[in-house]
Amino acid sequence: MPQPMFTTTGDMLVAVDFSPRLKERTPGPYRRLFTHPGTRAFTFGNLLARLPMGMFSMSAIIMIAAARDSYALAGAVSATGLAATALAGPWTARLIDRYGQARVAVPATLLAALGSLGLVLCVHSGAPAWTLFAAYAATATTPNIGGMSRARWAYLLRGDEKSLHTANSFEQAADELCFMAGPVLAALLCGALFPEAGTLAGVALLVTGMVVFAAQRSTEPPASRASRTSTKTKPPLRAPGIPPLLLVCLAMGAVFGSMEVVTIAFADAQGYRSAAGVVLGLQAGGSCVAGLLYGAWRPGGSAEDRYPWCVAAMTALMTLPLLAASLTGSLVVLAGALLIAGMATAPTMVTGMTLIQERTPEGRLNEGMTLAVTGLLGGIAGGSAVGGWMAERVSTVAGFGVPVAAGAVAVAVVVLGRVARS
């Protein structure tokens, strides 16, 4: 180690230190985020429980199709579970707001796990088809783990808008990562082991992750006494500015649902149906990276001012897959177009969720964010139906026009909503 040297200045002996000075690195926004006590533990549980959200649908379709040799039945059962989740989700979230995450989320998760295990049992034993619908509908009580995690960040970071923006961006990136990795893991388990393996692994991850998440009581937002003891708290659905946001979520869900089914149809028409998952994974990957970058960069202006530009950018980029399919007909070019198109998704979702948080009445945050997810699920179901019809009755290329049209509807709703509020 270099030693200090001494010089004389007049009658004084002055030490001159030539040793290298270590500059402390300023921690990045994500590193600062996880310096809060308990955040790493609840995030670990959150990611464990969230990964199965991208596994269950794929696992159920593979399992049912393998046992009953019917993709129609598998798709119908999966759609039933989606519809049931859209109906039950806000009710479960309302209970979480009233009584707390740990008291409601763990029992609701166990009930949903029993539904998934019941589906495995019914499929394996050759039970009548109606039992598959009943069992999968029971999984609708699965709590919105992403919404609960965002509620924790909102509670921990109240008053710190910059850090909350980073936290919301991280959560959106986590959503994209899990929905990108989940189907791949499910297909791998079902193919390499046995058809029920994906569902069983998903149940184990969901229950374990939810127990770990709920055990972190120090970061859990307190139950809302107002929503439990009074009827004066306005429901999120009736709060000013919330209905237009939910309509935008519905339109954005239609973008995602139609893009998925049309991409699968396009790949299948070229004889590469097995590659459709990888191609769609690139779209989610682009969104995941964009979400992390968006969280590290603090944009100026309010979320309300940014939102129309985000939605417009997402709609504009959705024209790239349409151009790639119509002008080149290449699956490789389409994959690149989807990668770029996905980069506007996370910033749009982060900004929209920020507005949901700002406009949701106090004590109803889980319910407000679950309503947004319900809108997305409804849009995905409708978009899948319309996109599938266009791909089958018109052409797969024409099907890529459905996401663009749905995005245009989202832009119109945002603009009209701002006009109505001004």
pLDDT (0 to 100) of residue 322: 93
pLDDT (0 to 100) of residue 93: 81
pLDDT (0 to 100) of residue 207: 93
pLDDT (0 to 100) of residue 419: 63
CB 141 within 8 A of CB 92: yes
Radius of gyration over alpha carbons of the chain, in Å?
24
Q: How many Å apart are CA 378 and CA 83, to the nearest integer?
A: 7
Q: How many Å apart are CA 77 and CA 171, to the nearest integer?
A: 29
Q: How many Å apart are CA 27 and CA 33, to the nearest integer?
A: 10
Q: What does DSSP assign to residue 21?
A: P
CB 322 within 8 A of CB 404: yes
Q: Which residue has the tokens 């659905």?
A: 237
CB 202 within 8 A of CB 187: no
What's the one-letter identity of residue 281? G
pLDDT (0 to 100) of residue 230: 45
Residues 6+ away with beta carbon under 8 Å from 157: 36, 163, 164, 167
Percent of the chain with pLDDT over 90: 15
Q: Across the strands, what pairs with 7?
A: 14
Q: In 252-284, which positions are buried (b, 16+ CB within 10 angstroms) versus exposed (e)? A: bbbbbbbbbbbbbbbbeeeeeeebbbebbbbbb
Sign (positive or negative) of CA dihedral 203, 205, 208, 209:
negative
Residue 316: other Cβ atoms inside 10 A: 14
All residue ranges of the chain with pLDDT < 70 are 1-27, 71-72, 75, 224-234, 273-274, 276-277, 298-301, 419-422
Q: How many Å apart are CA 277 and CA 285, to the nearest integer?
A: 12
Q: How many Å apart are CA 221 and CA 170, to the nearest integer?
A: 19
Q: Across the strands, what pairs with 6?
A: 15
Q: Encoding tokens for residue 312?
A: 């417009």
146-167 residue pLDDT tens: 888 888 888 888 777 778 878 8
Domains of the chain, earliest start first: 37-223 (1.20.1250.20), 233-422 (1.20.1250.20)
C-alpha pair distances (Å), 163 with each of 31, 153, 158, 364: 11, 9, 9, 21
Largest CA distance in the chain: 101
